[in-house]
Structure 1
Amino acid sequence: MAYNTNTVTEPAVHEGDSVPRVLSARARRREQSPALLYKGYPLRFLIPALSVLLIFFFIPTVMNLAYAFTNWSAYSTTIRFNGFDNFVTLFRDGTLLRDLRVTIVYAVLVAIFQNGFGLALAVFLERDTRLNRFARVMFFVPVIMSALAVGYIWQAVLKTDGALNQILSVLCGRDIHVEWLGSTTWTIVVVAAIHGWKWMGLAMLVFLAGLKTIDPDVLEAARIDGASPWQLFWRIKFPLLAPAFTFNVATSLLGSMNGFDIVQATTEGAPGGTTEIINLFIWRTFGQGLYSQSTTMSLVLFLLVMLMAIPLIWYLRRREAKIL
């Protein structure tokens, strides 16, 4: 039988085949010789992406690792290797341990607020009504807003003579002067709540997507068996949201460890350094000309994120596999 050089149609339909297969001659040759797929001609399309990664990620990361062990600063005319002096200095004055503690506490609080708000919104807005669709859009608006803008707006609302105290004064009939951002204990909680509020729309969408993947027949069977709405959520919906929890918890916890904008706009690390996360210290130290110390802290942050990311994602994936 003669075959066209471009397209070949098998003349016979084997038992069990619904339609004849139509394969180009080139695709047939690839099936016969998989090695042709690795000739190298598709790899050139990776060059732009690899170049961007090389220039803006790999090279700066390697340079950051190297500069962390030098005396690089605006006050030194030469750059010399000084070993672990930067690490020793940061540990001795307590700055490193304090900022590490603040960053971890801040990240955990953000993860709690962001996922708590997002899950609550997803449950209340699960039904596809016109009002719920409009509400979803409104709650997603903060996600696409600038983080600095969100921080400055909330800073204006929460200051002593801000909008919140004025509203409370009107409602209570007396002057209210609460320093919402002036407590050494609760300010970090307030700032973390603002961070969680900004990103709760993203968590809401992920949880909504997870809720939509639940088989309606399973829910209907539970209702027939007499399950209450509360039991329906905690016994069926909540366990089946494990993949959504894996994504949301990992992104919120690890992403907030790289936070900067909202803390800088609201408190600038005050009061008394109780909200000074690592990135804020890096920015401030670099601005003071202490470049090697700032690179040391960024290296410590990188290692901290890696040490938290690997076991966290492993645990969440393992939990997900057990449930599903």
Structure 2
Amino acid sequence: MHTVKDRTTRPQARAKPRGHGAPRLRKDTLNRRDHPLWFIAPAFAILLVFFFLPTLFNFIYAFTDWSSFKSEINPVGFDNFNDLASSGTLLRALRITVVYAVLVAIFQNLFGFLLAVLLERDTTVNRVARVFFLIPVLMSALAVGYIFQALLKPEGGLNQILSRLLPFDVHCAWLGDPTWTIVVVSIIHAWKWMGLSMLIYLAGLKTVPEDIVEAARIDGASRRRMFWSVRFPLLAPAITFNVATALLGSMNGFDVVQATTAGGPARTTEILNIFIYRTFGQGLFAQATTMGLVLFLVVALMAFPVITVLRRREEIL
């Protein structure tokens, strides 16, 4: 009888702490779920103050006559948009911006893709080379612009190097040609960010399934055929990311162009952000805000079609 009583009472004694401990575990779980909201609250506050509120005021001040020459701010409707459209300066700046963005996207992806293919093997030399190509990404864009401005002057370092290598002296104004300066500046911009594109393409190449590559090898595909027919189509997500970020990032470019040419020569590299910077410096705040709103809308209108087309390409491939 004593053994039976002990056996019946022991499970009850053990079950009692479990009943008391269950609500405590549930409470701890709820607290852990609530903590991340408090952690991300400062980030949301910074985003609200420095992004959402300026964007909201950008939509408001574009329809006013805000300037440094008036003490009052009055609504003017679409007058700012009509003035900018009739002058032709805004359309020219938009055209230069689009050309600049397309060139940057082409060069940046081309350089990044070639580097990823050349440095794909995990050797010591390739690892060191990857680090060196990532250094420009970490540098300030203004610093990169000023360095290249010094190198590309007629009496700069590039012409001096070419004069020593060639049998004649070189005095080329690399940043003084109205036709080709936009190409040179876009190459500088692409050089700064090609390390990031290289990383994305390297990640895409590393994630290609080995069984697919092995099956193509067994079927007798050459290395070139296997790369372009098997591995390259599987890089579609990496291409989507790199093209979208390069295109949309260069649409908002300012630092490199301002440091190298400041919009010259003859305003042939005056992208829209430089035009906004100059207009705002003249005290025409409403006109500058209107240009910023136009740039925001153009970037949004370009982003959705580009991403949609690239996403469809991924699904097809």
Q: Give me the whole-angstrom Cα distance separating, in 1, the residues matched to 2:153 and 2:20.
A: 72
Residues 155 and 265, structure 1, Cα contact 8 Å, conserved in 2: yes
Q: Give me the whole-angstrom Cα distance separating, in 1, the residues matched to 2:235 and 2:34.
A: 41
The one-letter amino acid paired with 1:136 is R
Q: Give me the whole-angstrom Cα distance separating, in 2, the residues matched to 1:41 and 1:111.
A: 41
Residues 5 and 25, structure 1, Cα contact 8 Å, conserved in 2: no
- CA shift, 1:5, in A, is 4.7
Q: 2:133 aligns to what? A: 139
- CA shift, 1:267, in A, is 0.4
Q: 1:160 aligns to what? A: 154
Q: Unaligned stretches of 5+ in structure 2?
A: 1-10
The runs of at least 4 aligned residues of structure 1 exceeding 4 Å deviation read 5-8, 39-46
Range with greater deviation from structure 2 (313-322 or 271-280) = 313-322
Q: 1:278 aligns to what? A: 272
The one-letter amino acid paired with 2:221 is A
The one-letter amino acid paired with 2:143 is A
Larger Rg: 2
Residue in structure 2 matching 1:56, options 50, 54, 68: 50
* Pair 1:41–1:223, CA change in 2 (3 A): closer
Q: 1:87 aligns to what? A: 81
Q: Give me the whole-angstrom Cα distance separating, in 2, the residues matched to 1:122 and 1:191.
A: 23
- CA shift, 1:185, in A, is 1.1
Q: 1:4 aligns to what? A: 18
Q: Give me the whole-angstrom Cα distance separating, in 2, the residues matched to 1:46 and 1:141.
A: 30
Q: Give me the whole-angstrom Cα distance separating, in 2, the residues matched to 1:213 and 1:108.
A: 28
Q: Give me the whole-angstrom Cα distance separating, in 2, the residues matched to 1:185 and 1:273.
A: 11
* Pair 1:4–1:205, CA change in 2 (3 A): same
Q: 2:306 aligns to what? A: 312
The one-letter amino acid paired with 2:26 is R
Q: Give me the whole-angstrom Cα distance separating, in 1, the residues matched to 2:20 and 2:56.
A: 50
- CA shift, 1:73, in A, is 0.8
Deviations 1:225-255 (A, max 9, x none): 2222221211011100001011111110001
Q: Does 1:212 align with 2:206?
A: yes
Q: 1:263 aligns to what? A: 257
Residue in structure 1 matching 2:183, options 184, 189, 212: 189
Q: Does 1:321 align with 2:288?
A: no
Q: 2:69 aligns to what? A: 75
* Pair 1:216–1:173, CA change in 2 (3 A): same
The one-letter amino acid paired with 1:238 is F
* Pair 1:78–1:218, CA change in 2 (3 A): same
Partner SS state of residue 18, structure 2: coil
Q: CA RMSD in A?
A: 2.2
The one-letter amino acid paired with 1:52 is I
Partner SS state of residue 232, structure 2: helix
The one-letter amino acid paired with 1:272 is A
Q: Give me the whole-angstrom Cα distance separating, in 2, the residues matched to 1:70 and 1:275.
A: 29
Q: Give me the whole-angstrom Cα distance separating, in 2, the residues matched to 1:6 and 1:173.
A: 91
Q: 1:172 aligns to what? A: 166
- CA shift, 1:47, in A, is 3.1
The one-letter amino acid paired with 1:224 is I
- CA shift, 1:224, in A, is 2.7
Q: Give me the whole-angstrom Cα distance separating, in 2, the residues matched to 1:312 and 1:6.
A: 58
The one-letter amino acid paired with 1:302 is F
Deviations 1:105-163 (A, max 9, x none): 10010000100000000001000000000110011110001100101111111111111
- CA shift, 1:217, in A, is 2.3
Pairing of 1:239-258 with structure 2 (within 5 A): 239-258=233-252
Q: Give me the whole-angstrom Cα distance separating, in 1, the residues matched to 2:289 and 2:107.
A: 30
Residues 142 and 199, structure 1, Cα contact 8 Å, conserved in 2: yes
Pairing of 1:33-44 with structure 2 (within 5 A): 43-44=37-38
Partner SS state of residue 241, structure 1: helix
Partner SS state of residue 4, structure 1: helix
Q: Give me the whole-angstrom Cα distance separating, in 1, the residues matched to 2:35 and 2:224.
A: 57
Identity %: 63
Q: Does 1:118 align with 2:132?
A: no
Q: Give me the whole-angstrom Cα distance separating, in 2, the residues matched to 1:205 and 1:176.
A: 36
TM-score, length-scaled by structure 2: 0.89
Q: Give me the whole-angstrom Cα distance separating, in 1, the residues matched to 2:85 and 2:98.
A: 17
* Pair 1:265–1:229, CA change in 2 (3 A): same
Deviations 1:88-108 (A, max 9, x none): 111111111001000111001
Deviations 1:184-226 (A, max 9, x none): 1111011001100000000000000000001122222222322
TM-score, length-scaled by structure 1: 0.88
- CA shift, 1:50, in A, is 2.5
Deviations 1:9-57 (A, max 9, x none): xxxxxxxxxxxxxxx9529x98xxxxx89x9786444432322222111
